[in-house]
């Protein structure tokens, strides 16, 4: 076993723990989208928002069937922090937070535990529906794209720092303080997450 493999094994939660986090994350995304249904009910994107919510509900149902339905205090607290720290000031920002946070969560989980999470990841269809929602909203309000671009830039750093907490690196803490030699591994994840975030923003013609 190489030193890097040893660090990875010591740093990354066990596959079962990542599966629980993935399940609880999907449950939280489902909750956030269902809470937004009413906000969009009178808009022309109501059906698309409902479809995105239904797709994430189906993903959450699949995860619950595979992993279980019980709450998990540690995972739920971690996810609560993310949603509180990226809470939008209106329903447009909040829907964008859901889109971006779901991307950060899936990318981070895939980075650390792709082999054990194949049946729980793969949220692209729901993301594509949300991309369609935002494109339609931008056509209706030609200033909304600039406002959401600013919001996306604002929460990206928060979400990436949150993603480090999956492997026990708290805010203000160096990965090397958790496990000596972990800095390079964690920074690789951070680089990947920002790259994927840029791609999500570019898909909407927004500056990351």
Q: What is the pLDDT of residue 143?
A: 97
Model confidence band, residue 66 (pLDDT cutoffs 50, 70, 90):
very high
Q: How far apart are CA 168 and CA 105, in angstroms?
A: 15
Long-range contacts (CB closer than 8 Å, 24 or more residues apart) made by 179-188: 179/7, 179/10, 179/11, 181/3, 181/4, 181/7, 182/7, 182/11, 185/4, 185/7, 185/8, 185/11, 186/11
Mean pLDDT, residues 55-66 taken together: 98
Mean pLDDT, residues 191-201 taken together: 98
pLDDT in tens, 126-180: 999 999 999 999 999 999 999 999 999 999 999 999 999 999 999 999 999 999 9
Q: What is the pLDDT of residue 115?
A: 84
| CA atoms within 13 Å, Cβ hemisphere of 187 | 7
**If you average pLDDT over every residue of the chain, what do you get?**
96
- How far is CA 188 from its chain centroid? 17
Mean pLDDT, residues 79-106 taken together: 98
Q: What is the pLDDT of residue 114?
A: 79
Q: Is the pLDDT of residue 194 over 80?
A: yes
Q: By the 8 A CB rule, do 163 and 12 touch?
A: no
Cα dihedral value 9, 109, 72, 69, nearest 10: -120
CB neighbours (10 Å) of residue 63? 24
- Name the token pair of 155: 């929460």
Superfamily of domain 3-202: Ferritin, core subunit, four-helix bundle (1.20.1260.10)
Q: By the 8 A CB rule, do 24 and 79 touch?
A: yes
DSSP 3-state of 207: coil
Q: What is the pLDDT of residue 1?
A: 66
| Number of residues assigned to the chain | 208
Q: What is the pLDDT of residue 198?
A: 97
| Backbone phi, psi, residue 196, to 5° | -65, -35
Q: What is the pLDDT of residue 2?
A: 87
Look at 7-11, 43-47, 105-109, 154-158 and tell me which has the smallest mean pLDDT: 7-11
**Domain range summary for the chain, segments of one domain joined by +:** 3-202
Region of 57 on the Ramachandran plot (φ > 0 left; ψ -120 to 50 alpha; else beta)? alpha
Q: How far apart are CA 105 and CA 184, in angstroms?
A: 20
Q: How far apart are CA 32 and CA 69, in angstroms?
A: 17
Q: How far apart are CA 184 and CA 188, in angstroms?
A: 6
């Amino acid at each position: 076993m190489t030193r890097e493999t040893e660090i990875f094994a010591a740093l990354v939660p066990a596959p079962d723990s990542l599966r629980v986090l993935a399940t609880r994350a999907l449950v939280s995304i489902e909750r956030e989208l269902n809470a937004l249904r009413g906000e969009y009910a009178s808009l022309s994107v109501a059906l698309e928002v409902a479809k995105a919510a239904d797709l994430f509900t189906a993903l959450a149902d699949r995860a619950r069937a595979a992993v279980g339905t019980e709450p998990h205090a540690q995972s739920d607290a971690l996810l609560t922090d993310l949603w509180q720290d990226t809470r939008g000031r209106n329903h447009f920002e909040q829907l964008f937070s859901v889109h971006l946070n779901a991307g950060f969560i899936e990318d981070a989980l895939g980075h650390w535990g792709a082999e054990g999470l194949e049946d729980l990841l793969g949220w692209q269809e729901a993301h594509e529906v949300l991309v369609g929602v935002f494109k339609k909203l931008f056509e209706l309000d030609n200033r909304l794209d600039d406002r959401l671009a600013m919001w996306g830039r604002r929460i990206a750093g928060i979400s990436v720092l949150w993603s480090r907490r999956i492997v026990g690196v708290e805010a203000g803490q160096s990965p090397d303080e958790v496990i000596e030699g972990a800095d390079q591994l964690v920074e690789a994840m951070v680089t990947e997450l920002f790259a994927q975030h840029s791609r999500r923003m570019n898909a909407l013609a927004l500056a990351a």
